[in-house]
Amino acid sequence: MGLYQRCRRLRFPGLHACGLHTVREAAVPTPPHWLVERLGYFEELWTAQVKRLASMAQEEQRTIKISLPGGQKVDAVAWKTTPYQLAQQISSNLADTAVAAQVNGEPYDLERPLETDSDLRFLTFDSAQGKAVFWHSSTHVLGAAAEQLLGAVLCQGPSTECGFYHDFFLGKERCGMLVDLCRGPHLRHTGQIGGLKLLSNSSSVWRFPGAPETLQRVSGISFPTAEELRAWEEWREEAELRDHRRIGKEQELFFFHELSPGSCFFLPRGTRVYNALVAFIRSLWSPMSASLQAEYTRRGFSEVKTPTLFSAKLWELSGHWEHYREDMFALQPPGLDRPSSSQSDHSASSPTDTLALKPMNCPAHCLMFAHRPRSWRELPLRLADFGALHRAEASGSLGGLTRLRCFQQDDAHIFCAPDQLEAEIRGCLDFLHSVYTILGFSFHMALSTRPSGFLGEPCLWDQAEQVLQQALEEFGAPWDLNPGDGAFYGPKIDVHVRDALGRPHQCGTIQLDFQLPLRFDLQYKGQSGALECPVLIHRAVLGSVERMLGVLAESCGGKWPLWLSPFQVVVIPVGTEQEEYAREAQQSLRAAGLVGDLDADSGLTLSRRIRRAQLAHYNFQFVVGQREQSKRTVNIRTRDNRRLGERDLAEAVQRLLELQDTRVPNAEEIF
């Protein structure tokens, strides 16, 4: 079966079978001789493999037991019965919708004969694994078209979370006949691809010893039916309208500049949203006490500030220099060996010292823990840090606020005793639940276990993974297992939120770390008087504040909830006679800490100014005319053109403060 498993390619009876047409179908060029030779060689191998399978099935004549979903068991013939044949026996609909199989947990072609007693599951396009197979197969369709019609040399072509792409080399040289050793699995035939759309092309780089080659990357997406493709196109149009980069530009929240690539310039309105998010983490509304709680204080977190620039010796000690070096900004500034007047107070620096901007806060917090002796009475020690982090992301991976080179996290590290671990993990999960509930996000969690190249002893990893798994089971929410996806220093719980369009975003994380305390030789005096090593928990709720701001912008489509909104209230005077009172109303709003703007443009009618405010997504409009001026009231409308009527100015301001402090998502409906 080795040849079948490793070398079988998806065969394409005709490109038009999956809806992929060329402009001039009648003018398809004659395939080059090496393509013909390769196809002939493959057909020889394929024929030999079919004969071999038939021979093995005939010789063994062995019945095997296949376990199906739901506990049903059926008989099959080894080396002869395929998953597709069993799908036909179960249901014609299943046979039509299945894209691949899982046999004993491993991906499997539907047409590949079963060999031994097996546990069989079917993958459809509705599952993440099924989409991966479907889009992986679609890359072969794209590759065949580029190879046969354009003479392209095929490079990598993986599926992604939202489609697929293929890299091609279109130079005049290269390297002879290509044989695609693809593991699969694949679709049974290209006719299962009912709709395929190419989305974009860009350049990419093939890295190898010597000069890198420039490649062309073509991205696409495909679906089982044309109707699903049309529905996706409608969804994509809505997603483009909600793109946070578009919203940021239209609402003047932030911008990017080529002179600081990978960093964001937050304008006054965007800074207002940014600061509101940070303040939100520091103090959450507590329904139990009906008052604002200092959340970090209530949960025992102490906010600290740590340096941005550190010697590479720190990152060597932490292990980041070995495992994370390519993602760090490093520099060797001149003059480090020059003596200074304060050198007696600091250790001397070597002229060969390398400095690096911190990509995370954990090593700095380890230094903070170790700077004096610690006692068990101080544990758990919870340190929170909003310091700027820098990561050397590749230019091609930068994308608005979702991936930056400079950003901040609501980062925290908890140093605790082993017997405090379970309670601390529960506290972190409760914090996550509280925050995401207020933000209006549903979320899903995944436990990521040790990867290859992990630090430390396997027994410590086993212990850490068991603690996290038990905490997830006690929490009660659904979760997935991601084998091998943990950090190099410990397992983690990744939290994915879903926005208004159902798209997942990885934001929060809880990571358990037995390694850094050992590497930094962290100790505290235990109750028995002996020195003990703490356990470290890495915790972020919002994750990157910048990324969360972008996710929120797209989720609300620019219609910010009142407590986050950079467009809370605009005051609109009916005529020039009411401008002075309108300015008083604006000042009352600003004095209370609310966002209050004024639209006294006499060149537009009142209705045009109201409409302009609603299109700008102001939560409320305070309209003031002669009557309102005389009574010191305001006439209130919402951004959805609901008329709330006349209210006393002072009472209206107080009500806005109440709605802002409670962080309700629908302030316009309950004003």
Q: What is the pLDDT of residues 196-249, one digit of tens each?
A: 999 988 877 776 666 677 888 899 999 999 999 999 999 999 989 999 999 999
Q: The tokens of 354 are what? A: 């390398």
The pLDDT, as a whole number, for residue 335 is: 62
User: In the β-sheet with 106-108, what is the strand arrangement from edge to edge?
Assistant: 73-77, 63-67, 118-124, 98-103, 106-108
Burial of 444 (0-12, 13-18, 19+ CB in 10 A): middle
Tell me the three state secondary structure of residue 225.
coil
* Pick from 187, 218, 177, 174: nearest CA to 200: 218
Taking the CB of residue 416, how many other CB atoms lie within 10 A of it? 20
Length of the chain equals 671
Q: How far apart are CA 521 and CA 289, in angstroms?
A: 42
Is the pTM higher than 0.85?
no
The pLDDT, as a whole number, for residue 602 is: 87
Q: What is the mean pLDDT of the chain?
A: 86
Q: The tokens of 454 are what? A: 């992990």
* Pick from 5, 99, 86: nearest CA to 53: 5
Tell me the three state secondary structure of residue 261.
coil
What would the mean pLDDT of 180-202 be, rounded to a whole number?
87
The pLDDT, as a whole number, for residue 610 is: 96
Segment among 63-67, 242-246, 495-499, 516-520 with least mean pLDDT: 495-499
Q: What is the DSSP letter of 25?
A: G
Tell me the three state secondary structure of residue 2.
helix
What would the mean pLDDT of 343-368 be, rounded to a whole number?
76
The pLDDT, as a whole number, for residue 29 is: 62
What would the mean pLDDT of 19-24 be, rounded to a whole number?
34
Cross-strand bridge partners of residue 497: 443, 505
Residue 153 has pLDDT above 80, yes or no: no
Residue pair 239/501 in contact (Cβ under 8 Å)? The answer is: yes
Residue 420 has pLDDT above 60, yes or no: yes
Cross-strand bridge partners of residue 573: 624
Q: Using pLDDT thresholds of 50, 70 and 90, give the confidence band for residue 53.
A: confident
pLDDT (tens digit per residue) in 59-110: 888 899 999 988 899 999 999 999 999 999 999 999 999 999 999 989 999 9
The pLDDT, as a whole number, for residue 206 is: 73
Segment among 110-119, 177-186, 333-342 with least mean pLDDT: 333-342
Residue pair 366/415 in contact (Cβ under 8 Å)? The answer is: no
The pLDDT, as a whole number, for residue 211 is: 64
Residue 520 has pLDDT above 90, yes or no: yes
Q: In 431-566, at which residue ranges do the beta strands (DSSP E only) sit?
A: 442-448, 479-482, 492-498, 504-513, 524-525, 531-532, 535-544
What would the mean pLDDT of 511-538 be, rounded to a whole number?
94
pLDDT (tens digit per residue) in 430-452: 999 989 999 988 888 999 999 88
The pLDDT, as a whole number, for residue 349 is: 43
Residue pair 539/565 in contact (Cβ under 8 Å)? The answer is: no
Bridge pairing between strands 620-624 and 633-638: antiparallel
Q: How far apart are CA 62 and CA 76, in angstroms?
A: 8
pLDDT (tens digit per residue) in 260-279: 999 999 999 999 999 999 99
Q: How far apart are CA 388 and CA 409, in angstroms?
A: 8
Instruction: For the chain, list the domains and their CATH numbers.
Output: 2-123 (3.10.20.30), 130-235 (3.30.980.10), 265-333+352-556 (3.30.930.10), 569-670 (3.40.50.800)
The pLDDT, as a whole number, for residue 6 is: 30
- Give Cα 111 to chain centroid, integer Å: 35
Residue pair 545/595 in contact (Cβ under 8 Å)? The answer is: no
Question: Which of 11-15, 224-228, 660-664 reaches the highest mean pLDDT?
Answer: 224-228
Q: How far apart are CA 401 and CA 248, in angstroms?
A: 10
What would the mean pLDDT of 521-540 be, rounded to a whole number?
95
Amino acid in the structure at residue 311: S
The pLDDT, as a whole number, for residue 640 is: 93
How many CA atoms, within 13 angstroms, populate the side-chain half-sphere of residue 2?
0
Q: How far apart are CA 236 and CA 248, in angstroms?
A: 19
Q: Using pLDDT thresholds of 50, 70 and 90, give the confidence band for residue 297.
A: confident
Q: How far apart are CA 91 and CA 86, in angstroms?
A: 9
* Pick from 139, 135, 162: nearest CA to 218: 139
Cross-strand bridge partners of residue 546: none
Burial of 379 (0-12, 13-18, 19+ CB in 10 A): buried
Residue pair 380/415 in contact (Cβ under 8 Å)? The answer is: yes
Taking the CB of residue 334, how many other CB atoms lie within 10 A of it? 7
Q: Which residue bears the tokens 């990598």? A: 156
- Cα separation values, 208 from 177, 205, 211, 213, 214, Å: 20, 9, 7, 8, 11
What would the mean pLDDT of 543-565 be, rounded to a whole number?
95
Question: Which of 298-312, 389-403, 506-520, 616-630 reaches the highest mean pLDDT?
Answer: 616-630
User: ∠ CA(318), CA(320), CA(326), 5° rounding?
Assistant: 165
Q: What is the 3-state secondary structure (H, E, C) of 399-411?
A: ECCCECCEEEEEE
Please give the radius of gyration of the chain, using alpha carbons only, rounded to the nearest integer: 31
Residue pair 278/386 in contact (Cβ under 8 Å)? The answer is: yes
Q: How far apart are CA 561 and CA 286, in angstroms?
A: 18
Segment among 145-159, 198-212, 398-412 with least mean pLDDT: 198-212
Taking the CB of residue 104, how many other CB atoms lie within 10 A of it? 12
The pLDDT, as a whole number, for residue 24 is: 37
